[in-house]
Amino acid sequence: MEQNIDPKKMFSAPPFDTPYQDYPGTENKMEPKADHGEESYVGYGRFKDRKVIVTGGDSGIGKAVAIAFAREGADVLISYLSDEEDEDAEDTASFVRKAGRKAMLMKGDITSEKHCKAIVDNAVAEFGHIDVLINNAAFHISRKSIEDIPTYEWNLTFDTNVNALFYLCKAAVPHMPKGSSIINTTSVVAFDPSEDLLPYSATKSAVVNLTANLSQILLKQDKGIRVNAVAPGPVWTPLIPATKFNVENFGKNTAMERPGQPVEIAPAFLFLASADASFISGAVLPVTGGRITI
Protein backbone atom coordinates (compact mmCIF):
# COMPACT_ATOMS: atom_id res chain seq x y z
CA MET A 1 0.00 0.00 0.00
CA GLU A 2 1.09 3.56 -0.64
CA GLN A 3 2.70 5.50 2.19
CA ASN A 4 2.14 9.04 3.50
CA ILE A 5 -1.57 9.12 2.70
CA ASP A 6 -4.24 10.34 5.08
CA PRO A 7 -5.57 7.04 6.53
CA LYS A 8 -9.11 8.37 6.31
CA LYS A 9 -8.73 8.58 2.55
CA MET A 10 -6.88 5.37 1.75
CA PHE A 11 -10.07 3.40 1.01
CA SER A 12 -13.76 3.99 0.35
CA ALA A 13 -15.82 5.72 3.00
CA PRO A 14 -19.59 5.77 3.50
CA PRO A 15 -22.18 6.31 2.26
CA PHE A 16 -22.26 2.95 0.48
CA ASP A 17 -24.83 1.80 -2.03
CA THR A 18 -24.33 -1.97 -2.01
CA PRO A 19 -27.17 -4.47 -2.45
CA TYR A 20 -28.29 -6.51 0.53
CA GLN A 21 -27.47 -10.20 0.26
CA ASP A 22 -28.61 -13.48 1.74
CA TYR A 23 -26.29 -14.99 4.34
CA PRO A 24 -23.41 -15.89 4.02
CA GLY A 25 -22.86 -13.34 1.21
CA THR A 26 -20.41 -13.33 -1.69
CA GLU A 27 -17.82 -10.93 -3.05
CA ASN A 28 -19.23 -10.51 -6.56
CA LYS A 29 -22.30 -8.65 -5.29
CA MET A 30 -20.38 -6.13 -3.18
CA GLU A 31 -20.05 -2.50 -4.22
CA PRO A 32 -17.38 -1.30 -3.79
CA LYS A 33 -15.35 -4.49 -3.96
CA ALA A 34 -13.28 -5.42 -0.92
CA ASP A 35 -9.50 -5.20 -1.14
CA HIS A 36 -7.75 -8.39 0.01
CA GLY A 37 -4.30 -7.35 -1.14
CA GLU A 38 -4.64 -9.13 -4.47
CA GLU A 39 -2.69 -6.37 -6.19
CA SER A 40 -0.81 -4.78 -3.32
CA TYR A 41 0.46 -7.34 -0.81
CA VAL A 42 4.15 -8.12 -1.27
CA GLY A 43 5.68 -11.07 0.56
CA TYR A 44 9.27 -11.49 1.79
CA GLY A 45 9.46 -15.21 2.53
CA ARG A 46 8.92 -14.80 6.28
CA PHE A 47 6.85 -18.01 6.49
CA LYS A 48 8.64 -20.18 3.95
CA ASP A 49 7.26 -23.75 4.02
CA ARG A 50 5.05 -23.06 7.04
CA LYS A 51 1.68 -24.82 7.18
CA VAL A 52 -1.37 -22.68 7.90
CA ILE A 53 -5.10 -23.28 8.46
CA VAL A 54 -7.45 -20.33 7.90
CA THR A 55 -11.16 -20.67 8.69
CA GLY A 56 -13.48 -18.36 6.81
CA GLY A 57 -10.78 -18.18 4.16
CA ASP A 58 -13.07 -17.75 1.16
CA SER A 59 -13.56 -13.99 1.56
CA GLY A 60 -13.01 -11.01 3.80
CA ILE A 61 -10.27 -11.07 6.43
CA GLY A 62 -9.64 -14.79 5.94
CA LYS A 63 -9.01 -14.33 2.23
CA ALA A 64 -6.55 -11.50 2.85
CA VAL A 65 -4.77 -13.59 5.48
CA ALA A 66 -4.53 -16.60 3.14
CA ILE A 67 -3.10 -14.48 0.31
CA ALA A 68 -0.58 -12.83 2.62
CA PHE A 69 0.66 -16.08 4.17
CA ALA A 70 1.00 -17.67 0.72
CA ARG A 71 3.04 -14.74 -0.56
CA GLU A 72 5.21 -15.11 2.52
CA GLY A 73 5.89 -18.73 1.51
CA ALA A 74 3.26 -20.75 3.41
CA ASP A 75 0.98 -23.57 2.30
CA VAL A 76 -2.64 -22.87 3.27
CA LEU A 77 -5.77 -24.88 4.04
CA ILE A 78 -8.81 -22.68 3.35
CA SER A 79 -11.89 -23.63 5.35
CA TYR A 80 -15.28 -22.24 4.30
CA LEU A 81 -18.95 -22.94 4.90
CA SER A 82 -21.15 -23.62 1.90
CA ASP A 83 -21.76 -24.07 -1.82
CA GLU A 84 -22.63 -20.38 -2.16
CA GLU A 85 -19.01 -19.57 -1.32
CA ASP A 86 -17.39 -22.00 -3.78
CA GLU A 87 -16.46 -19.29 -6.27
CA ASP A 88 -14.91 -17.07 -3.61
CA ALA A 89 -13.00 -19.99 -2.09
CA GLU A 90 -11.64 -21.07 -5.48
CA ASP A 91 -10.53 -17.50 -6.09
CA THR A 92 -8.63 -17.45 -2.81
CA ALA A 93 -7.02 -20.79 -3.66
CA SER A 94 -5.97 -19.47 -7.05
CA PHE A 95 -4.00 -16.64 -5.42
CA VAL A 96 -2.31 -19.10 -3.07
CA ARG A 97 -1.30 -21.28 -6.02
CA LYS A 98 -0.13 -18.29 -8.06
CA ALA A 99 2.25 -17.60 -5.19
CA GLY A 100 3.71 -21.06 -5.79
CA ARG A 101 2.20 -22.62 -2.67
CA LYS A 102 -0.19 -25.49 -1.94
CA ALA A 103 -3.85 -24.61 -1.39
CA MET A 104 -6.35 -27.02 0.13
CA LEU A 105 -10.09 -26.31 0.21
CA MET A 106 -12.31 -27.71 2.96
CA LYS A 107 -16.03 -26.95 2.73
CA GLY A 108 -18.29 -27.58 5.69
CA ASP A 109 -19.82 -26.38 8.93
CA ILE A 110 -17.35 -25.73 11.74
CA THR A 111 -20.14 -25.94 14.31
CA SER A 112 -19.64 -29.69 13.87
CA GLU A 113 -16.77 -31.04 15.98
CA LYS A 114 -16.44 -33.90 13.50
CA HIS A 115 -15.86 -31.44 10.65
CA CYS A 116 -13.33 -29.43 12.69
CA LYS A 117 -11.38 -32.63 13.33
CA ALA A 118 -11.54 -33.42 9.61
CA ILE A 119 -10.05 -30.00 8.79
CA VAL A 120 -7.10 -30.72 11.05
CA ASP A 121 -6.72 -34.34 9.94
CA ASN A 122 -6.67 -33.36 6.25
CA ALA A 123 -4.16 -30.58 6.88
CA VAL A 124 -1.87 -32.97 8.74
CA ALA A 125 -2.25 -35.65 6.06
CA GLU A 126 -1.25 -33.16 3.34
CA PHE A 127 1.20 -30.92 5.20
CA GLY A 128 2.59 -33.18 7.94
CA HIS A 129 1.91 -30.72 10.77
CA ILE A 130 0.36 -27.29 11.49
CA ASP A 131 2.40 -24.17 12.21
CA VAL A 132 -0.37 -21.57 12.37
CA LEU A 133 -4.07 -21.97 13.16
CA ILE A 134 -6.15 -18.91 12.27
CA ASN A 135 -9.62 -19.14 13.85
CA ASN A 136 -11.32 -16.46 11.78
CA ALA A 137 -14.76 -17.68 10.68
CA ALA A 138 -17.67 -16.04 12.49
CA PHE A 139 -21.41 -15.42 12.36
CA HIS A 140 -23.63 -12.51 13.31
CA ILE A 141 -26.98 -10.99 12.44
CA SER A 142 -28.20 -7.55 13.51
CA ARG A 143 -31.29 -7.47 15.71
CA LYS A 144 -33.04 -4.42 17.14
CA SER A 145 -33.93 -5.91 20.53
CA ILE A 146 -33.38 -9.01 22.65
CA GLU A 147 -36.93 -10.08 21.87
CA ASP A 148 -36.02 -10.24 18.18
CA ILE A 149 -33.19 -12.75 18.73
CA PRO A 150 -34.34 -16.34 18.10
CA THR A 151 -32.86 -18.85 20.53
CA TYR A 152 -31.48 -20.93 17.67
CA GLU A 153 -29.64 -17.83 16.41
CA TRP A 154 -28.11 -17.19 19.84
CA ASN A 155 -26.93 -20.81 19.94
CA LEU A 156 -25.63 -20.70 16.36
CA THR A 157 -23.58 -17.59 17.14
CA PHE A 158 -21.91 -19.30 20.10
CA ASP A 159 -21.50 -22.58 18.20
CA THR A 160 -19.72 -20.79 15.34
CA ASN A 161 -17.73 -18.15 17.20
CA VAL A 162 -16.74 -19.98 20.39
CA ASN A 163 -17.39 -23.73 20.29
CA ALA A 164 -15.71 -24.15 16.91
CA LEU A 165 -12.55 -22.48 18.25
CA PHE A 166 -12.47 -25.04 21.05
CA TYR A 167 -12.96 -27.93 18.61
CA LEU A 168 -10.24 -26.69 16.25
CA CYS A 169 -7.71 -25.87 18.96
CA LYS A 170 -8.29 -29.22 20.67
CA ALA A 171 -7.76 -31.09 17.41
CA ALA A 172 -4.80 -29.01 16.21
CA VAL A 173 -2.59 -28.65 19.30
CA PRO A 174 -1.21 -32.23 19.19
CA HIS A 175 0.02 -31.52 15.64
CA MET A 176 1.62 -28.13 16.34
CA PRO A 177 5.38 -28.04 17.03
CA LYS A 178 6.98 -25.65 19.49
CA GLY A 179 7.11 -22.17 17.99
CA SER A 180 3.65 -22.51 16.45
CA SER A 181 0.85 -19.98 16.86
CA ILE A 182 -2.89 -19.93 17.30
CA ILE A 183 -4.49 -16.61 16.36
CA ASN A 184 -8.17 -15.98 17.03
CA THR A 185 -10.33 -13.25 15.56
CA THR A 186 -12.18 -11.34 18.25
CA SER A 187 -13.65 -7.86 17.62
CA VAL A 188 -13.82 -4.29 18.83
CA VAL A 189 -17.30 -5.18 20.12
CA ALA A 190 -15.67 -7.33 22.82
CA PHE A 191 -14.65 -3.98 24.38
CA ASP A 192 -17.27 -1.62 22.93
CA PRO A 193 -20.41 -3.74 22.46
CA SER A 194 -22.74 -3.04 19.59
CA GLU A 195 -26.38 -2.66 20.63
CA ASP A 196 -27.60 -4.54 17.54
CA LEU A 197 -25.16 -7.45 17.95
CA LEU A 198 -25.83 -8.82 21.45
CA PRO A 199 -24.93 -12.50 20.77
CA TYR A 200 -21.92 -11.61 18.63
CA SER A 201 -20.55 -9.13 21.17
CA ALA A 202 -20.88 -11.75 23.92
CA THR A 203 -19.05 -14.37 21.87
CA LYS A 204 -16.20 -12.03 21.04
CA SER A 205 -15.69 -11.31 24.73
CA ALA A 206 -15.54 -15.07 25.27
CA VAL A 207 -12.85 -15.30 22.56
CA VAL A 208 -10.72 -12.75 24.43
CA ASN A 209 -10.92 -14.84 27.60
CA LEU A 210 -10.34 -18.12 25.74
CA THR A 211 -7.26 -16.61 24.09
CA ALA A 212 -5.72 -15.45 27.36
CA ASN A 213 -6.54 -18.65 29.22
CA LEU A 214 -5.40 -21.06 26.52
CA SER A 215 -2.18 -19.09 26.15
CA GLN A 216 -1.37 -19.65 29.81
CA ILE A 217 -2.27 -23.33 29.64
CA LEU A 218 -0.17 -24.16 26.58
CA LEU A 219 2.91 -22.26 27.75
CA LYS A 220 2.78 -23.61 31.32
CA GLN A 221 2.41 -27.15 29.91
CA ASP A 222 5.57 -26.52 27.86
CA LYS A 223 3.77 -26.89 24.52
CA GLY A 224 5.64 -23.88 23.16
CA ILE A 225 2.55 -22.60 21.32
CA ARG A 226 1.67 -18.92 21.53
CA VAL A 227 -2.02 -17.90 21.46
CA ASN A 228 -3.09 -14.37 20.55
CA ALA A 229 -6.04 -12.57 18.99
CA VAL A 230 -6.74 -9.77 16.56
CA ALA A 231 -9.63 -7.40 17.30
CA PRO A 232 -10.79 -5.79 14.04
CA GLY A 233 -13.14 -2.86 13.95
CA PRO A 234 -15.76 -2.68 11.19
CA VAL A 235 -14.35 -4.36 8.07
CA TRP A 236 -15.82 -4.40 4.56
CA THR A 237 -16.66 -8.07 3.90
CA PRO A 238 -19.63 -9.97 2.39
CA LEU A 239 -20.92 -10.68 5.90
CA ILE A 240 -21.87 -7.02 6.26
CA PRO A 241 -24.46 -6.61 3.47
CA ALA A 242 -25.73 -10.10 4.36
CA THR A 243 -26.39 -9.44 8.04
CA LYS A 244 -26.19 -5.78 9.10
CA PHE A 245 -28.63 -2.89 9.41
CA ASN A 246 -27.78 0.47 7.89
CA VAL A 247 -24.98 -0.76 5.64
CA GLU A 248 -25.04 2.65 3.95
CA ASN A 249 -23.18 4.16 6.94
CA PHE A 250 -21.04 1.14 7.84
CA GLY A 251 -17.74 2.14 9.41
CA LYS A 252 -18.68 5.77 9.95
CA ASN A 253 -18.45 5.21 13.73
CA THR A 254 -14.65 4.88 13.61
CA ALA A 255 -12.25 7.78 14.09
CA MET A 256 -11.24 7.24 10.45
CA GLU A 257 -14.91 7.52 9.44
CA ARG A 258 -14.70 4.45 7.20
CA PRO A 259 -14.52 0.65 7.51
CA GLY A 260 -11.26 -1.20 7.25
CA GLN A 261 -10.42 -3.28 4.22
CA PRO A 262 -9.32 -6.91 4.70
CA VAL A 263 -5.84 -6.07 3.39
CA GLU A 264 -5.42 -3.68 6.34
CA ILE A 265 -6.21 -6.40 8.88
CA ALA A 266 -4.10 -9.28 7.54
CA PRO A 267 -0.67 -7.90 8.62
CA ALA A 268 -1.74 -8.11 12.27
CA PHE A 269 -2.14 -11.88 11.94
CA LEU A 270 1.23 -12.23 10.24
CA PHE A 271 2.94 -10.16 12.93
CA LEU A 272 1.48 -12.26 15.76
CA ALA A 273 2.54 -15.48 14.01
CA SER A 274 6.05 -14.21 13.31
CA ALA A 275 9.29 -14.39 15.26
CA ASP A 276 8.95 -10.64 15.82
CA ALA A 277 6.14 -11.49 18.26
CA SER A 278 8.07 -14.21 20.11
CA PHE A 279 7.42 -12.62 23.52
CA ILE A 280 3.74 -11.93 22.88
CA SER A 281 1.11 -14.42 24.03
CA GLY A 282 -2.37 -14.01 25.45
CA ALA A 283 -2.63 -10.59 23.85
CA VAL A 284 -5.26 -8.87 21.74
CA LEU A 285 -4.07 -6.61 18.92
CA PRO A 286 -6.69 -3.96 18.02
CA VAL A 287 -7.03 -2.99 14.35
CA THR A 288 -10.08 -0.78 14.71
CA GLY A 289 -9.73 2.41 12.70
CA GLY A 290 -9.31 4.30 15.94
CA ARG A 291 -12.21 2.85 17.93
CA ILE A 292 -11.14 2.44 21.54
CA THR A 293 -10.55 -0.96 23.15
CA ILE A 294 -9.59 0.14 26.68
> Per CATH, which fold does 41-287 belong to?
Rossmann fold (3.40.50)
Element (H, E) at 71: helix 60-71
Q: What angle do CA 15, 261, 234 make, to 5 degrees?
A: 65
pLDDT at residue 246, as a whole number: 87
pTM of the model: 0.97
Delimit the domains of the chain by residue range: 41-287
Catalytic residue among 41, 80, 167, 200: 200
pLDDT at residue 4, as a whole number: 81
* Catalytic residue list contains 200: yes
The overall longest dimension of the chain from CA atoms, in Å, is: 51
Q: Cα dihedral angle (286, 40, 130, 273), rounded to 10 degrees?
A: -40
pLDDT at residue 245, as a whole number: 87
User: Can you point out the beta strands (E) in the chain?
Assistant: 51-55, 75-80, 103-107, 132-135, 181-185, 226-232, 284-287
pLDDT at residue 1, as a whole number: 62
For 105, phi and psi rounded to 5 degrees? -115, 130
pLDDT tens track, the chain, 294 positions: 666 889 999 999 999 999 999 999 999 899 999 999 999 999 999 999 999 999 999 999 999 999 999 999 999 999 999 999 999 999 999 999 999 999 999 999 999 999 999 999 999 999 999 999 999 999 999 999 999 999 999 999 999 999 999 999 999 999 999 999 999 999 999 999 999 999 999 999 999 999 999 999 999 999 999 999 999 999 999 999 999 988 999 999 999 999 999 999 999 999 999 999 999 999 999 999 999 998
